Amino acid sequence: MTSDQPEHARTGSETLRTGSEPAPTGTDVVLEARGVTKHFPLRRTARDLFARERRSVHAVDDVSLRLRRGTVTALVGESGSGKSTVARLLAQLYPLTSGEIRLGGEPVAAGRGGSFRRYVRRVQLIFQDPFASLNPVHTVRYHLTRALKIHGRAGNGKAELEENLAALLGRVQLTPPQQFLDKFPHELSGGQRQRVAIARALGADPQVLLADEPVSMLDVSIRLGVLNLLRDLKERLHLAILYITHDIASARYFADTTLVMYAGRIVEGGDSERVTQHPAHPYTQLLIASAPDPDRIAADEDQEETGTGEPPSLITPPAGCRFHPRCPQAMERCRTELPPRFDLPQGQWAACWLYEGAAANGTEPVAVRTVAKEATR
C-alpha cells in the first residue's frame, strides 16, 4: 500500500480511520491546556531547613494552548524553555501543579489504569530519539502488534492482524511491509525508525499527536521526509499535531500556528507565517536572528542588537518579564511587572510591554514594522 491508496484495514470491532472522513472545519478544538503550571519541588538541603517554602523548578507557568483538528501547532523555544514538559503534561505523564487540560471539551482527571488507557488511545506522544523509544531486541512486527493489541485494534485472527500491520506501515510509507516487519531497530535508518515510532503511535488511532522534536536527531537530508509524512497524516487523518521544536524555520514550513516559549511561559503566538516573518516579541526576534542564514550573516554589521546571554535559572526566575535580563529593549517596569498578552493585528499576540499602546488602538506596532522591513531587506 502506498500513501496515495485508500486505507480500508479493519481491526475487530473498530475500523481504522480513513482519508474519506468529512473534512474538518479547522476550528474544532480537540485538546486544550488552560493555565497549566508545573513546578518540580527540589530535594531539601541543609540550606533549606529554615526556609518557609520548599524550592522548586518553575518548569511551566500559566500555559494555555488549543490543538485543533487537522492543524499543526508548533511550540518553539530554546532547550530548557519547558516545551517538552508541556508535551509530557498534555500526555498525562506528570500531574499538573495547577491549571486544567480538556480533551474534547471535557476536563481530564489525572489518573492511571483504565482512564489513562482511554486517554492515551486519543493522545499519543512521539519521542525525539526513535532508537531509544524502540526496544532493540524486538522487531518492527513486535512493536506494532503490541500497540494494536494494547489498544484493542489487532483484529480477529492472524490474517486480519497482518492486514492491519501492513496498513500501519503503509500509512508511514514503509512499503512493501514485508521488507520492514521482521527487521530490528538497528537494521533501519534513523528516518525509518522514526516512521516505525509514528506507526506505533497510529496503532492507537489517536486524535492528537504530540511530537517532541521528532526530527532533531535525524540527518538533515531525511528531516523533510518525516515532516512531510506528519503533514500528510494531519491532512488524511485530520490529526491535531503539537510540533515541539527549537528550529523556528521548520515551524514556518510545517505548522499552521506557532507559539513561542521562553523560560516556562508562552510569550508570543499567532499564524506561523506572521510570527516567523513579523516577529513581535524581542525573544522571537532573537530566535530568528540566531537561525543560520548566510544572507543575514553577510549583513550582520547593519543589524540592530537583538539580545544576548543565557536563559535564566528556573529555580529563581527573574521577576517581571522573564526575558528582561537579555532584552535590549527592557524598560524599568519590565523588571517588576509581568506583561500580559497584548493582541496585535492579524491574530498575532505578544506578552511584552512594548505593545501596550498598539494593542489598545489596533495599529501595526512600530517594533513589528521594523523587523518586517529588515526581514525583507
Alpha-carbon span 356 to 46, nearest angstrom: 44
* Residues in 281-300 at the binding interface with ligand SF4, rule: CB under 6 A: 281-282
User: Which is closer to ligand SF4, CB of 168 or CB of 260?
Assistant: 260
User: Which is closer to ligand SF4, CB of 176 or CB of 340?
Assistant: 340
User: Which is closer to ligand SF4, CB of 238 or CB of 281?
Assistant: 281
Shortest spacing between CB 34 and ligand SF4, in angstroms: 23
Which candidate, 376, 377, 334, 342, places its Cα nearest to that of 362? 342
Residue 359 interacting with ligand SF4 (CB under 6 A): no
Residues 6+ apart with CB under 8 A from 258: 73, 74, 76, 248, 251, 252, 269, 270, 271, 272, 275, 276
Residue 312 interacting with ligand SF4 (CB under 6 A): no
Residue 352 interacting with ligand SF4 (CB under 6 A): yes
Shortest spacing between CB 324 and ligand SF4, in angstroms: 4
Across the strands, what pairs with 57?
40
The residue count for binding ligand SF4 (CB under 6 A) is 14
Binds ligand SF4 by CB under 6 A, chosen from 353, 358, 368, 371 = 353
CB–CB of 229/258 below 8 Å? Answer: no
Stretch that binds ligand SF4, among 126-134, 203-211, 291-299, 330-338 (CB under 6 A): 330-338
Shortest spacing between CB 105 and ligand SF4, in angstroms: 33
Residue 334 interacting with ligand SF4 (CB under 6 A): yes
Residue 324 interacting with ligand SF4 (CB under 6 A): yes
Sign of CA dihedral 182, 184, 187, 192: positive
Question: What are the backbone dihedrals phi and psi of residue 373, each rounded to the nearest 5 degrees, phi first?
Answer: -65, -45
Residue 342 interacting with ligand SF4 (CB under 6 A): no
| Cα separations in angstroms, 3 against 14, 176, 240 | 21, 12, 19
Binds ligand SF4 by CB under 6 A, chosen from 266, 321, 344, 358 = 321
Stretch that binds ligand SF4, among 16-24, 200-208, 235-243, 322-330 (CB under 6 A): 322-330
CB–CB of 327/307 below 8 Å? Answer: yes
User: Which is closer to ligand SF4, CB of 244 or CB of 327?
Assistant: 327
The 3-state DSSP class for residue 249 equals helix
Residues 6+ apart with CB under 8 A from 346: 270, 271, 274
Per-residue contact string for residues 227-266; x = within reach of ligand SF4 by CB under 6 A: ----------------------------------------
Stretch that binds ligand SF4, among 16-24, 93-101, 231-239, 351-359 (CB under 6 A): 351-359
Residue 319 interacting with ligand SF4 (CB under 6 A): no
Which candidate, 125, 113, 111, 94, places its Cα nearest to that of 31? 125
Residue 180 interacting with ligand SF4 (CB under 6 A): no
Binds ligand SF4 by CB under 6 A, chosen from 16, 202, 208, 327 = 327
Which residue, chain included where needed, has cell 527549537? 246
Shortest spacing between CB 365 and ligand SF4, in angstroms: 11
Residue 301 CB burial class (10 angstroms; 0-12, 13-18, ≥19) = exposed
| Enclosing H/E stretch for 39 | strand 29-41
Instruction: Note every long-range contact of 217-220, with CB atoms under 8 Å and residues 24 or more positions apart, other chains counting.
Output: 217/128, 217/129, 217/130, 217/190, 218/190, 218/191, 218/194, 219/190, 219/191
Applying CB under 6 A, the residues found at the interface with ligand SF4 are 281-282, 321, 323-324, 327, 329-331, 334, 339, 352-354
